[in-house]
Amino acid sequence: MPDHFLGVENVKVSFGKGEAQVRALRDVSLFFERGTLSLVMGPSGSGKTTLLSMLGCLLCPDEGEVFVDGQAVNKLSEGERATIRQKKVSFVFQAFRLFHSLSAIDNVGLGFEIREPQETRRMELAEELLVQFGLGEKLKHEPKELSPGEKQRVAIARALAGNPPIILADEPTASLDAEAGKNICELLRKQVDRGGRTVVVVSHDSRWKKFADHVITLSDGQVERKGKKS
Amino acid sequence: MKLAWQNIIHDRLRFSVTVLGVCFAVFLMIFQGSLLVGFLRAASRLIDASDADIWITARGVQAFEFGTILESRTREMAAGVPGVKETGRVCMAFAVYRTPNGKQQVVALVGADPNVGKHFPVPDAPGAAREISPDAVLYDVSDREQIEVTTLPAEVEVNNRRASIERQIEGFGAFLGVPFLFTSYRNAARYIGFGSDEAMYIPVRVGSGYLVSEVQENLQQRLPEVDVLTREEFAHRSRMYWTVKTGAGGAIVTAAVLGFLIGLVVVSQTIYASTMENIEEYATLKALGASQGFVVRVVLMQALICGVAGSMLGLVAVAPGLSYAKTLIPWIYTPWWLPLGMSVPSLLMCSLAAIVSVRSALTVEPGKVFRA
């Protein structure tokens, strides 16, 4: 009996209609253990991002169930799914997705504003996070003034605002050089080891293998291989 | 809502264009509003200046400027109605005026008895300056160039009769395009050729203890061949004639509405462009779990910031504009509540302008965030 903390069960997802229809996921069942870092790999078009979108309540499957923090979410309304995203799930993106007009600290502060609107110390908490991530000198810098590695660290700090139990990362090291990529791997690993969070990373980057507890390989919309790191 | 503010100041050029658009709209709305209020005020200025509770006019008179002669017994009959404390006489006619330099032009000559009201411009009104003669002629300061009087008193001619201009007044400037001249009823009747018992209007004062409406009704029963109107009714009729029947009010209101629409288009274009440029950031907001209300507030706040900034700039710009306009259009008038009142349509305009942008921001698919 799998732990239904985070995962999908018998999900099918397709895009388009008729001859142009693409079956992104074909009857996939996959669960992620609480407090682990799972790496989802696979070639382009294998369904990795579709899987991540469903786990993040951004996409509903055509068939099957999606579980987030033990709750079936695919029948929820858009407003209810937004609340799940607000309270339970956080994202780290390949393209960072920082707000271009806001400084580093304001980007993280915005994360708090969305997730914990009642929190009055949001700027202090944002500063604490950025200092922890080695960005204490760049609090007031806008995204255009930061290196790609620094941007991703700001994005991770924003993802941690409000202390969500689940972090979903889509190719978080794809735009980074080797050193910055390694830093990000370590940072997300720490969220599992010290923060007890559940992290799912979708990546082509094989460096992640040594930081992951589980490695899942998708191919053509199906789970090809699922293994626990020895 | 720092995001809304930062989005705006981050693109200063777009912000400036938006603010200028709102500023232009606010300027135009206040300017046109001042024209309309001033026009309405000027259209009934002389009626409002009287102390009379009731005005008796010939049947069907639409505005003060177009009165006709009442039968001579009308005033006597009115005076006999219970509740009528006092009656007076007012006349207005176009006359030929010859300037001290010999140039001729048409003027609107108004004559009134001294009891018409202490604010009514007549030389022999109670409390008027003693140094001028009861038959003096008065003119408004804004008509000085047309009257061509450089020193007072000045000897001129009205309908080929000698007249003495002895004082200038304020607030009763040309409204018809020809200057007003004011004098006593007796004097005006002489220039126009009226008999001493004839009048165009009979202002009536109601005695204490009587209801104006009751006296009005009694007067109308006693004088069925004339119109008996309260001062407010006659003023309203006069204002409606000039604004509605001549189409002048429509033209002014149309210009104000155009100002509103121009502002609406400018703000909606720039807010929409800004929203579409940052549409992926709205998708990110949604992916981060922002509620619909949060997203709406970000877009709306940007529009309202532009609205407030543009309105303030518009208010600053309109003050000298109106000052200058007053030298050309003496009856233009800006009541204190007009600039404040215009902030409501300008903020409404910005909110309306944000609707399309709000819709785009709300419907953006949050899954967009995964596309690099």
Q: Are residues B122 and B217 in the same domain?
A: yes
- ipTM score assigned to the predicted complex: 0.89
Task: Over range B6-19, report the average pLDDT.
Answer: 88
Q: Tens digits of per-residue pLDDT, B217-245?
A: 999 999 999 999 999 999 999 999 988 88
Q: Is A80 within a domain?
A: yes
Q: Mean pLDDT for chain B? A: 88
Chain A residue with minimum CA distance to B295: A114
Q: Is A25 within a domain?
A: no
Structure tokens at B212: 């104006």
Count of domains for chain A: 1
Contacts of B367 in chain A (CB under 8 A): 53, 58-59
Model confidence at B146, pLDDT cuts 50, 70, 90, reads confident
Task: Over range B160-165, report the average pLDDT.
Answer: 88
Can you give the pLDDT at residue B247?
Answer: 85
Q: Are residues B346 and B259 in the same domain?
A: yes
pTM recorded for the entire structure: 0.77
Can you give the pLDDT at residue B371?
Answer: 64
Burial call B125-154: b when 16+ CB within 10 Å, e when fewer? beebeeebeebbbbbbebbeebbbbeeeeb
- Pairing mode, strands A166-170 and A89-92: parallel
Number of residues in chain B: 372
Last residue of a domain, one of B245, B272, B302: B245
Cβ contact, residue pair B291, A52, below 8 Å: no
Model confidence at A54, pLDDT cuts 50, 70, 90, reads very high
Q: Does pLDDT of A151 surpass 80?
A: yes
Q: Are residues B183 and B89 in the same domain?
A: yes
Q: Are residues B84 and B230 in the same domain?
A: yes
Q: Are residues B140 and B158 in the same domain?
A: yes
Q: Is A138 within a domain?
A: yes
Smallest Cβ–Cβ distance between A86 and the set B289, B371, B372 belongs to B289
8 Å CB contact between A25 and A15: no
Please report the number of interchain residue pairs, chain A to chain B, with beta-carbon separation below 8 angstroms: 81
Can you give the pLDDT at residue B364?
Answer: 86
Can you give the pLDDT at residue B275?
Answer: 84
With pLDDT > 70 as the criterion, what percentage of chain B qualifies? 97
Can you give the pLDDT at residue A2?
Answer: 61
Q: A112 CA to chain B: closest CA distance, Å?
A: 10
Q: Are residues B132 and B221 in the same domain?
A: yes
Q: Does pLDDT of B365 surpass 90?
A: no
Q: Does pLDDT of B11 surpass 80?
A: yes
Q: Are residues B276 and B329 in the same domain?
A: yes
Model confidence at B181, pLDDT cuts 50, 70, 90, reads very high
8 Å CB contact between B325 and B304: no
Last residue of a domain, one of B195, B211, B245: B245
CATH number of the domain within which A194 lies: 3.40.50.300
Q: Is A97 within a domain?
A: yes
Model confidence at B154, pLDDT cuts 50, 70, 90, reads confident
Q: Are residues B101 and B28 in the same domain?
A: no
Q: Tens digits of per-residue pLDDT, B87-113?
A: 999 999 999 998 888 888 999 999 999
Count of domains for chain B: 2
Q: Is A212 within a domain?
A: yes
Q: Are residues B295 and B205 in the same domain?
A: no
Q: Are residues B173 and B241 in the same domain?
A: yes
Between B133 and A152, the more confident residue is A152
Which domain range does residue B292 map to?
2-42+247-370
Last residue of a domain, one of B188, B219, B245: B245
Q: Are residues B159 and B230 in the same domain?
A: yes
Q: Is A141 within a domain?
A: yes
Q: Are residues B14 and B139 in the same domain?
A: no
Which domain range does residue A145 map to?
33-60+75-228
Q: Is A211 within a domain?
A: yes
Cβ contact, residue pair B284, A102, below 8 Å: no
Cβ contact, residue pair B288, A53, below 8 Å: no
Q: Does pLDDT of B254 surpass 90?
A: no
Can you give the pLDDT at residue B372?
Answer: 57
